Amino acid sequence: MNQNHVKVIGIKDESRKDANLSYVNQVEGLKDILNRDFIEWSNFDSWESISVQQWIFSRALEIYKGNKIDIKCDCCQQLDFIPNNFENIKKEKCFGKKSAYMIEKVVDEIVLAKARRESDGTYSA
Task: Give mean pLDDT, residues 32-58.
Answer: 94
Q: Where are the domains of the chain?
A: 6-118
Per DSSP bridges, beta strands 6-9 and 19-23 are unpaired
List pLDDT tens digits, range 74-117.
888 887 676 776 778 888 899 999 999 999 999 999 988 888 87
pLDDT of 80 reads 66
pLDDT of 96 reads 92
Residue 57 makes CB contacts below 8 A (sequence gap 6+) with 106
| CB distance 100 to 8 below 8 Å | yes
In DSSP notation, the chain reads: --TTSEEEE-TTPPPPTTEEEEEGGGSTTHHHHHTS-HHHHT-GGG-S-HHHHHHHHHHHHHHHTT-EEEEE-SS-SS-EE--S--TTGGG---HHHHHHHHHHHHHHHHHHHHHHHHHHSSS--
pLDDT of 1 reads 46
Instruction: Tell me the percentage of the chain whose pLDDT exceeds 70.
Output: 88
Give which of 61, 67, 77, 66 is closest to 8, Cα–Cα: 77
